[in-house]
């Protein structure tokens, strides 16, 4: 949060929202006030957004978790991680605090911003009618989503009317929808227009996937769900690669190069092959985005040419949101220092 203030929000003062499945402790809630002048809100997630829907067989879910854990899949045996992924897929934008906001920017523990951001990405998107912004595109661990694409195909067959002809599906499937290549926007960073999630297409899509059960019987992440939805329902011009934003989430970083690196005072090393997403390997997806054909001019959704003064957006229409788990220190003590606990512990 301090970094966010330093590189961007200290000048823009967008409000922060913290959401948690349990109550926040007083100590945690007192911290942000020393870091920001912006409004900070804390919200508890309603139980129905962080629990099993009645069509899920919890015994089967437990057995499947065990199998996935035995196969050493990351977070394979973790039950709360599944609730988190389902919440981030279908409910965060429905939280009562979020109702007043039009757009959001997701923040997570352990991330770093590596360059200054000298303009307002919310307005940048708004002025160009961009619905979804990302920095890192990466391949998925396919063992977490073995049947996701089968479900997506079922949805596509029954909801053709929701899918525009010039979508971005090529980015997630190179064989005309037969298979999923695993490319997804790494959703630990995303700036998006909440109307995308609240609209008919996404709502029906999430509801359909939720009934398929893969959030619990497999380990479907919100990243592939958001990404496939963006690819399916949006045209290329409505999705934007923030190539100029230097960003690190433990594991990978996107480091701008050339003029942007200098101008924005980046601290990262673009040639660091162990961290930087490049045009090869895991990061190939990012660069392949550029190979996606443009939507023909004549059928592009109208690009709204607002000027700053003509759009009546107050700062309070946009929000920076984080979800936080104060109990992970406890987890690390009870279960030993697994990767997740260690990461969260170091953040706390």
Ligand X SMILES: Nc1nc2c(ncn2[C@@H]2O[C@H](COP(=O)(O)OP(=O)(O)O)[C@@H](O)[C@H]2O)c(=O)[nH]1
Catalytic sites, residue numbers = 190
Q: Does 21 interact with ligand X (rule: CB under 6 A)?
A: yes
Specify the residue, 137 or 169, whose C-beta has the smaller distance to ligand X. 137
- For 44, the enclosing helix (H) or strand (E) is strand 40-44
Q: What is the DSSP letter of 101?
A: -
**Whole-number minimum distance, CB 227 to ligand X, in Å?**
14
Site for ligand X (CB under 6 A): which residue of 39, 44, 69, 80? Answer: 80
Site for Mg ion (CB under 5 A): which residue of 3, 79, 102, 108? Answer: 108
Specify the residue, 37 or 62, whose C-beta has the smaller distance to ligand X. 62
> Which residues lie below 8 Å from residue 113, measured CB to CB, with a gap of 6+?
3, 4, 7, 8, 245, 246, 247, 248
**Whole-number minimum distance, CB 156 to ligand X, in Å?**
26
> Which residues lie below 8 Å from residue 111, measured CB to CB, with a gap of 6+?
188, 189, 247, 248, 249, 250
Site for ligand X (CB under 6 A): which residue of 15, 32, 76, 109? Answer: 109
Cα separation, 279 vs 177, whole angstroms: 23
Specify the residue, 177 or 250, whose C-beta has the smaller distance to ligand X. 250
Q: Are 241 and 134 in contact (CB under 8 A)?
A: yes
Q: Are 38 and 15 in contact (CB under 8 A)?
A: yes
Q: Does 188 interact with ligand X (rule: CB under 6 A)?
A: yes
User: How buried is residue 272: exposed, middle or buried, by Cβ count under 10 Å (0-12/13-18/19+)?
Assistant: exposed
- For 233, the enclosing helix (H) or strand (E) is helix 222-233
Task: Please choose, out of 61-69, 76-84, 173-181, 307-315, the segment that lies near ligand X by the rule CB under 6 A.
Answer: 76-84
Judged by beta carbon distances under 5 to 8 A according to partner kind, the member of Mg ion, ligand X, none in contact with residue 89 is none
Task: Please choose, out of 78-86, 113-121, 254-262, 287-295, the segment that lies near ligand X by the rule CB under 6 A.
Answer: 78-86
Chain contacts with ligand X (rule: CB under 6 A): 20-21, 80-81, 84, 108-109, 188, 322-325, 340
């Amino acid at each position: 949060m301090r970094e966010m203030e330093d590189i961007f929000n200290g000048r823009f003062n967008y409000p922060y929202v913290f959401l948690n499945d349990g109550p926040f402790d007083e100590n945690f809630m007192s911290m942000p006030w020393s870091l920001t002048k912006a409004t900070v809100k804390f919200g508890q997630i309603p139980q129905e957004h962080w629990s099993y829907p009645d069509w899920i067989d919890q015994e089967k879910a437990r057995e499947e978790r065990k199998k996935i854990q035995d196969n050493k899949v990351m977070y394979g045996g973790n039950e709360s991680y599944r609730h988190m992924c389902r919440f981030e897929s279908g409910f965060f934008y429905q939280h009562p605090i979020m109702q007043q906001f039009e757009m959001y920017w997701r923040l997570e523990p352990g991330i770093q911003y590596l360059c200054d951001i000298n303009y307002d990405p919310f307005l940048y998107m708004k002025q160009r009618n961009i619905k979804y912004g990302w920095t890192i595109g990466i391949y998925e661990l396919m063992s977490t989503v073995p049947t996701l694409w089968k479900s997506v195909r079922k949805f596509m067959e029954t909801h053709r009317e929701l899918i525009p002809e010039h979508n971005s599906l090529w980015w997630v499937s190179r064989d005309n929808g037969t298979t999923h290549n695993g490319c997804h926007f790494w959703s630990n960073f995303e700036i998006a227009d909440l109307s995308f999630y609240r609209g008919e297409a996404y709502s029906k899509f999430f509801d359909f996937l939720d009934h398929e059960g893969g959030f619990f019987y497999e380990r479907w992440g919100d990243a592939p769900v958001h990404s496939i939805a963006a690819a399916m329902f949006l045209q290329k011009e409505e999705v934007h690669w923030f190539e100029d934003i230097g960003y690190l989430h433990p594991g990978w970083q996107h480091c701008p190069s050339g003029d942007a690196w200098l101008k924005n005072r980046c601290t990262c090393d673009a040639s660091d092959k162990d961290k930087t997403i490049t045009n090869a390997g895991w990061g190939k997806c990012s660069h392949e985005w550029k190979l996606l054909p443009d939507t023909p001019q004549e059928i592009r959704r109208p690009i709204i040419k607002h000027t700053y003064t003509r759009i009546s957006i107050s700062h309070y229409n946009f929000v920076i949101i984080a979800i936080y788990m104060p109990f992970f220190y406890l987890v690390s003590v009870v279960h030993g220092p697994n990767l997740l606990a260690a990461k969260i512990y170091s953040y706390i």
